[in-house]
Amino acid sequence: MRADIRHLGDPGTADFQVRKYPFYLLNRLVGRYNSIIEARLRMVDLDIPFWRVLMILGEQAPRGVGDISEAAVINLSTMTRIVQRMVRKQLVRCAPRRDDYRITDVFLTPLGKKKLAAARKITAPIFAAAIGGFSQREFSDTIEALDRLYTNLGPLLRHAGKSKAARRKRAAQ
């Protein structure tokens, strides 16, 4: 049985070690990954935000701008600007949703599909390298653990939103 090292990742303890802090490790991983794919994506005239939108739409299209924003973890106003840039480059097209005109759906264009295929081709080897040496079980366990961390923070996010609203209300009084 492995030793319990959770206390080493707890910033509230004197034993805290940054290399045992999962959020440091996640940021470090994402930073390295983005540095690698950014250079590769430039070869096909894409940037990371465009790539994220294309990958999300490649999974399911059309999707509303708000849905893409949430999936990409990019705030809505920024996502709106990204989508507008992508429309100008003819990677996507937008249309109001038929049953709810308040929602703008985003569709892949033929050029967007072509760029998505190119992006998948050049990023797949990076994914393969990143998971190299992982067993099927280790990979599944990693995905499950990351999902659990995300889920565990959900109630705190809702609480943080309420606290922010309460501070604004008090400031307005």
For the stretch 72-123, pLDDT in tens is: 999 999 999 999 999 999 999 999 999 999 999 999 999 999 999 999 999 9
For the stretch 143-172, pLDDT in tens is: 999 999 999 999 998 776 665 555 555 555
List helix spans (H) across the chain: 22-42, 48-59, 65-72, 76-88, 110-130, 136-172
For helices 48-59 and 22-42, what crossing angle results, to 10°?
A: 100
**Single pTM value for the model:** 0.84
Q: Quick check: 77 and 26 in contact, CB under 8 A?
A: no
Q: Quick check: 37 and 123 in contact, CB under 8 A?
A: yes
Q: Do you know the residue count of the chain?
A: 173
Amino acid code (one letter) for 7: H
Quote the tokens at residue 110: 């033929």
The C-alpha atoms of residue 90 and residue 85 are separated, in whole angstroms, by: 9
CA distances from 41 to 25, 50, 54, 126, 151 (A): 24, 9, 12, 12, 31
Quote the tokens at residue 151: 């889920």
What is the average per-residue pLDDT within 56-85? 96
List the one residue out of 22, 26, 48, 46 whose CA is nearest residue 35: 48
